[in-house]
Amino acid sequence: MNGQRFYAAWIRPTPITETKKGNAMPTIRVEMFEGRTEEQKRQYAKTLTEASVQVLGCSPQAVDVIFYDIKKSDWATGGKLHSDQ
């Protein structure tokens, strides 16, 4: 990686809401640097869904995964934009 830092994703689950049937329905918001392929997102959504089903006991259809692609110029850590590093 030539000394560059790599950030896979920052995952911040949103609050669990209730469906009409009363089952927990997680919505998972994934914020990460842009550049992932559609196939990578597909596999990641599948893995997150499977983990939610296993841990929370919900159905796969109850799990929502929302991807937010962030430009490096729109993300800063320690007061420095990632596009400047």
- Domain residue spans in the chain? 42-78
Strand-strand pairing, 76-77 and 24-25: unpaired
39, HSE (Cβ side, Cα atoms, 13 Å): 0
Question: In terms of residues, how long is the chain?
Answer: 85
Q: Which residue has the tokens 């949103």?
A: 14
Catalytically active residues, by annotation:
26
CA distance 39 to 54: 23
Q: Fill in the DSSP letter of residue 49.
A: H
Question: Which pLDDT value is given to residue 36?
Answer: 97
Note the pLDDT tens digit of each residue in 17-76: 544 455 558 999 999 999 999 999 999 999 999 999 999 999 999 999 999 999 999 999
Q: What pLDDT does 1 receive? A: 41
